[in-house]
Amino acid sequence: MAHGRNAGGSRRPSSAVARVGRVTSRGVLRGPSVRVIGTKGLGRLAEAWAPLPQRIISHIKGEAIVTIGTKDNPWKLTTPPGSSAYEMYRDQTTDPHQLVCQVGSTKLVYLWRAVDDLHAWLIAQGDWVLLGAADENKEAAPGTVEAFGRAADNPVGGWYGLRKGYRGRFGMYLPPLLETLGLAELTHDARNNSMRGVP
């Protein structure tokens, strides 16, 4: 890839992505399409390349429109401790759209709006928040991401999880997706992980 230099002399790519997560117009959040555009006159947009995982960068080189986060090309994620791999994708065939999480042979389904709602809630907290992941049949610790995912006073008035018996684990599977989309920072310790929103 050709590179240019900015005013400070540092190298920057000659093209950059239309927002993945927080980089431009929330393309991936509004729909999974990602397209490449030139950086002329875009200033800080070139910085968007820095936080993106190599997995995503490999899909956005060139000028073609590519898709990430679909059933055929899901996000490939790992749990915060790095102990388990899973996939997620946005199902746009449903109304409202759903976020499908496939963990081995187990399928969990959440409302897609959970991505935006969780991000907004994290920004409002203004600090690191414990994940507190728990199954549906276990109580969530107050003030945790898990508690937000089922709270009566959240934007949907209860569970974001849609599959009875598998509505929990919101604090396990949503945070890595927000991190991948550039919407949050996430710790990766063996236990007691936290996250905070990125404006």
In the chain, domain spans: 3-67, 75-197
pLDDT per residue as tens digits for the range 26-79: 333 334 434 333 333 333 333 333 344 433 443 444 444 457 899 999 999 999
Q: CA 183, CA 152: separation in Å to the nearest integer?
A: 24
Instruction: Fill in the DSSP letter of residue 45.
Output: G
> Residue 80: its pLDDT value, please?
98
Q: Mean pLDDT, to the nearest integer, of 71-95?
A: 97
Of 7, 198, 16, 14, the closest CA to residue 118 belongs to: 198
DSSP alpha helix (H) spans, the chain: 27-30, 54-57, 114-125, 145-148, 170-180
E strand residue ranges, 93-190? 98-103, 106-111, 129-130, 184-186
Cβ neighbours of residue 63 under 8 Å, at least 6 residues apart? 15, 36
For residue 23, pLDDT over 80 is answered with no
Predicted structure pTM score: 0.71
pLDDT per residue as tens digits for the range 131-156: 999 999 999 999 999 999 999 999 99
Instruction: Give the max Cα distance, the chain.
Output: 56
